[in-house]
Amino acid sequence: MHDRTISRRALLTATAVAAAAVTAATVPAAAAVPPPHERAPDPRDRLRRLISRMSLEEKVGQLFVMRVYGHSATAPDQADIDSNLAEIGVRTAAELISTYHVGGIIYFAWAHNTRDPHQIAGLSNGIQKAGLAQRVPVPLLITTDQEHGIVARVGKPATLLPGAMALGASRSHSDAREAARIAGGELAAMGINQNYAPDADVNVNPANPVIGVRSFGADPGAVAGMVTAQVKGYQSAGIATAAKHFPGHGDTKDDSHYALPTIHHTREEWTELDAPPFRAAIAAGVTSIMTAHIVVPALDPSEDPATLSHPIVTGVLREQLGYDGVVVTDALGMAGVRQKYGDDRVPVLALKAGVDQLLNPPDLRLAWNAVLTAVKGGELSERRVEESVLRILELKERLGLFRGDPYVSPRDVDREVGTRAHLAAADRIAEGTTTLLVNERGLLPLSRRRERNLLVVGADPASPSGTTGPPTTVLATALTELGFTATALSTGTAPTAARVEEAVEAARGKDAVVVATYNVSATSTQRTLVSALAASGVPVVTVAIRNPYDIARLTGVTASLAAYSWTDVELRAAARVIAGQARPRGRLPVPVQRADDPARVLYPIGHGLGY
């Protein structure tokens, strides 16, 4: 794409020095090796003995991290039993473990795993009990995608924090680290010992449909710093991390859930743009790295997805970057990894590429048997399987799962999850992320004397776990609590002509209108809504509640903010900025290009107004 090319070249020029500094900083110093008689016993010897007791089936099972339906490991609801039987061929999580000996389980809200913190803790304990009841007792990795912002599997009353791009806008490594420490501590209290975060992608393509605000930004050096802070924060809380999506998913217009994207970076561009955050994660001690289902011809001319690419996983990640930790695939049910090969070949090819963990295959029985067959037929050696099992067990050892017991208690939940201190920290961190892009005639902050009566309209996308209602309602409620009289009217992400007319009529007599915008495109009727409101003479304040690029396509706007998400914590922070109860301290972590001329930048990285 033309805009992608321009922004990439600009970023290469602007960040070459920073990227080189990050690269240099990741080279580890040589460690002193003690004499043989002073060396401590190698814990891997004990783990190798554990592996030697396993059957081939048990070893293969350790490679899989699988979904399962239900709020309980042994007594899920009947509907969840039916789903498990239909998709996996087992009734419960406990039966999944005893049948397939899986090394990990991933939680999803839609699988009914994450109803509330105490239930999550009970499910985690049930899963660990089943793992330790096996012939060869092995605790499980219990994982989820709790990136925060727009991706959160565990909702209230757990603490919900700003997402990656919002944190990138804050430019605060200490806030990023604290957010990860809080999030990690709460996950650990619920028995979740691995988080598939942070996102290490450098989002240089405004049209990216799958990463966007999940990235810390477009500057590789800045992203690397944030990734380092979050890795250290999560791991200080005692949970594992997974930098993703290697080798970098930030410059694509396709979503790998539904297609197989191609990244057209040269090797030089990849080294300068995509590699620095992963180098930084490795230097920070990241405990796992997740692969992407993307094609990068400069790294592998075969055009295999990176997840299945030996030149990328082994050649680049392991040999060039020197990473010897756990490598996990992105979900194997995604279209990006299934288009070129069948579901029986994908897990085998991933292992041959150098991957250790196989995440959430669409058909576990097929995938598990395919790996067994590949070993028995000689395509994969049992030694190769044992190499990955050892890495996985070393990770479990590092998390302390083999020491004492892996269980959590209700007291852990009450002491750690959604505490007043954590919620206050989330609000404080969010206040540093809200970015003021436009403020004509000094409209903001609004005055309760001049602009008392407000209308809040706009997009109300499907709510992530961190919301208590539609964004328009949350904003209106927050502004009312701050002393304004605010009315909410949802107009949707694609307002009809009738809805636009209704909004214009509702704006009559109001002192200002706040419009929540959501990924405004060239043909979006959100543009019509904003223009019609501005033409009515009422001051218009827009709040971009996802990607911050919306302002480039809007006209007649008096003031504009970027909130980077529509979760409560970020919307409340935006409301406080609008009301003057907090200063806008965020700075753009990505450039906003002109809609009419993508070769020109409307607002550069670092832009942000204050008052």
In this structure, are 410 and 506 located in the same domain?
no
Q: What is the pLDDT of residue 175?
A: 98
In this structure, are 389 and 472 located in the same domain?
no
Residues 429 and 167: their CA atoms lie apart, in Å, by: 8
Q: Is residue 93 part of a domain?
A: no
- The residue behind tokens 């001690």 is 285
Regarding pTM above 0.85, the answer is yes
How do 358-359 and 243-246 pair as beta strands? unpaired
In this structure, are 382 and 469 located in the same domain?
no
Confidence of residue 467 (pLDDT cuts 50, 70, 90): confident
What are the tens digits of pLDDT across the range 311-338?
Answer: 999 999 999 999 999 999 999 999 999 9
Residues 536 and 438: their CA atoms lie apart, in Å, by: 19
Size (the chain), residues? 611
**Among 368, 390, 416, which residue terminates a domain?**
416
What are the tens digits of pLDDT across the range 344-377?
Answer: 999 999 999 999 999 999 999 999 999 999 999 9
In this structure, are 343 and 486 located in the same domain?
no
- 3-class SS string, 449-489: CCCCEEEEEECCCCCCCCCCCCHHHHHHHHHHHCCCEEEEE
In this structure, are 584 and 449 located in the same domain?
yes
**CA distances (Å), origin 335, targets 140, 213, 244, 292, 331:** 27, 22, 18, 12, 10
Q: Is residue 391 part of a domain?
A: yes
In the chain, the number of structural domains is 2
In this structure, are 330 and 450 located in the same domain?
no
Q: Is residue 609 part of a domain?
A: no
CB 65 within 8 A of CB 143: yes
Q: Catalytic site residue 330?
A: yes
What are the tens digits of pLDDT across the range 535-570?
Answer: 999 999 999 999 999 999 999 999 999 999 999 999
Give the residue-averaged pLDDT of 493-515. Answer: 97
In this structure, are 513 and 386 located in the same domain?
no
Q: What is the pLDDT of residue 461?
A: 86
Q: Is residue 485 part of a domain?
A: yes
Residues 577 and 559: their CA atoms lie apart, in Å, by: 12
What are the tens digits of pLDDT across the range 586-606?
Answer: 999 999 999 989 889 999 999
Question: Which residues lie below 8 Å from residue 480, measured CB to CB, with a gap of 6+?
Answer: 486
State which amino acid sits at residue 51: I
Q: What is the pLDDT of residue 31?
A: 42
**Among 416, 447, 477, which residue terminates a domain?**
416
517 DSSP β-pair partners = 544
Confidence of residue 8 (pLDDT cuts 50, 70, 90): very low
Q: What is the pLDDT of residue 132?
A: 97
374's enclosing H/E stretch is helix 364-376
- The 8-class DSSP code of residue 56 comes to H
**Among 383, 416, 449, which residue terminates a domain?**
416
In this structure, are 446 and 401 located in the same domain?
no
- The residue behind tokens 């409620």 is 477
Task: State the chain's mean pLDDT as an integer.
Answer: 93
The whole domain housing 547 covers: 433-603
With a pLDDT cut of 90, the percent of the chain lying above it is: 89
In this structure, are 389 and 444 located in the same domain?
no
In this structure, are 343 and 218 located in the same domain?
yes
- The residue behind tokens 């501005």 is 534
In this structure, are 383 and 474 located in the same domain?
no
CB 176 within 8 A of CB 170: yes
Q: What is the pLDDT of residue 12?
A: 40
CB 513 within 8 A of CB 533: yes
Give the residue-averaged pLDDT of 4-23. Answer: 40
Active-site position among 201, 219, 330, 460: 330
Q: What is the pLDDT of residue 466?
A: 63
Q: Is residue 279 part of a domain?
A: yes
Q: What CATH number is attached to the domain comprising 513?
A: 3.40.50.1700
In this structure, are 538 and 441 located in the same domain?
yes
Q: What is the pLDDT of residue 449?
A: 87
Q: Is residue 565 part of a domain?
A: yes
Closest of 327, 205, 207, 202 to residue 272, by C-alpha? 202
Residues 296 and 364: their CA atoms lie apart, in Å, by: 28
Q: What CATH number is attached to the domain comprising 361?
A: 3.20.20.300
**Burial zone of 580 (CB within 10 Å; 0-12 exposed, 13-18 middle, 19+ buried):** middle
* pLDDT higher than threshold 90 for residue 521: yes
Active-site position among 173, 255, 257, 343: 257
Q: Is residue 114 part of a domain?
A: no
Task: List the structure tokens of 48.
Answer: 């190798």
* pLDDT higher than threshold 90 for residue 222: yes
- Angle among Cα 5, 6, 12 to the nearest 5 degrees reads 90
Taking the alpha carbons at both ends of the chain, their separation in whole angstroms is 37
DSSP string over 200-251 = ------TT-SSSGGGSS-S-HHHHHHHHHHHHHHHHHTT-B--EEEET--SS
96-121 per-residue burial string, b: 16 or more CB within 10 A, e: under 16: bbbbbbbbbbbbeeebbbbebbebbb
Q: Is 142 helix (H, G, I), strand (E, B) or coil?
A: strand
Q: Is residue 366 part of a domain?
A: yes
CB 330 within 8 A of CB 355: no
Q: What is the CA radius of gyration of the chain?
A: 25
What are the tens digits of pLDDT across the range 204-214?
Answer: 999 999 999 99
